Amino acid sequence: MVPSLASRVKFKLGIRNPFTVAYDIIFGCPGWLQGLIIANDQIKAQNARRVMIIGAETLSRVSDPHDRDSMIYSDGAGAVILEARACDSETGIIAQLARTDAGHEAHYLAMKESNNPDVEGHEIYLKMQGRKLYEYALNQVPQLVKSCIEKAKLNITDISKVLIHQANEKMDEAIIQRLFNLYNIAEVPKGIMPMIINKLGNSSVATLPTLLDLILKDKLPGHQISHGQNFVFASVGAGMNINAVVYKF
């Protein structure tokens, strides 16, 4: 992509400072959260004071109308600005973790031709191996999230909300159940994982910033953010990539 999408955004914003560095991150559905992780590292290394992280997706451009797996895809965009601030107690990102499994898992999501053999042209569309992707997510995401919580020196009972990338509601419910099972807790607390996929679909990298924005603007009844709360952000997607962040508000 030339110029990069980030450079186009910088141009549109009219930013003249050459040291405002603009670059794209290709990391599948966890891309926005990985951008947040990188921004946090840049701020702590004193390479930046403020960083804008944008997650934007137009899955309608790569959705095969003859593939029922594409029915839940949607377009979306969300952005945050991460800023360095002096404070008396630890706040912001207090733990982060990511992994990439790129053996046979690398092609669980790939670009292929339409399911309809009669379609003319050579366009390619986003395709998934749904069952394998589902099993991978259930086997790997809960453990990574638990490891991230432990890295923050916290317990699952210290977490107020889990904001997870929403590719499949059934899968997310199974992931959160397995996470609590790892702590020998049979029942998942009601309201800990707000869901929006039934209304907004799977917008890939836009899911997490969209979900955060809705909570901050009090547009999700029963879900608020209070000072001192610990939130978990988590995502899984093409690559296969998984990441998680523990964030203290």
**pLDDT digits over 177-198, tens only?**
999 999 999 999 999 999 999 9
Report the predicted TM-score, pTM, of the whole model to 2 decimal places.
0.92
Output b/e per residue, 103-113; b: 16+ Cβ within 10 A: eebeebbeeee
Q: Which amino acid is at 19?
A: F
Backbone angles phi, psi at 144, to 5 degrees: -65, -40
Helix 207-216, helix 31-44: angle, nearest 10: 70
CATH number for the domain harbouring residue 62: 3.40.47.10
1 compared with 190, residue with greater pLDDT: 190
Domain residue limits at 129:
1-249
pLDDT category of residue 1 using cuts at 50, 70 and 90: confident
For residue 51, pLDDT over 90 is answered with yes
pLDDT score at 235: 97
For residue 89, pLDDT over 90 is answered with no
Q: 142: closest CA among 164, 170, 169?
A: 164
- Euclidean distance between CA atoms 84 and 78, whole angstroms: 20
Q: What percent of the chain has pLDDT over 90?
A: 86
- Euclidean distance between CA atoms 126 and 110, whole angstroms: 6
pLDDT category of residue 146 using cuts at 50, 70 and 90: very high
Q: Which amino acid is at 227?
A: H
- Euclidean distance between CA atoms 149 and 185, whole angstroms: 15
Q: Could you give the count of Cα atoms lying within 13 Å of 112 in the half-sphere of its Cβ?
A: 14
pLDDT score at 85: 87
For residue 121, pLDDT over 90 is answered with no
- Euclidean distance between CA atoms 244 and 128, whole angstroms: 22
pLDDT score at 236: 96
pLDDT score at 26: 93
Q: Give just the sign of the alpha carbon dihedral 243, 217, 57, 60.
A: positive
- Euclidean distance between CA atoms 211 and 191, whole angstroms: 14
For residue 120, pLDDT over 90 is answered with no
**DSSP structure class, residue 204:** G
Helices of type H across the chain = 5-13, 31-44, 130-151, 169-182, 197-200, 207-216
What would the mean pLDDT of 53-81 be, rounded to a whole number? 93
Question: Structural domain tally of the chain?
Answer: 1
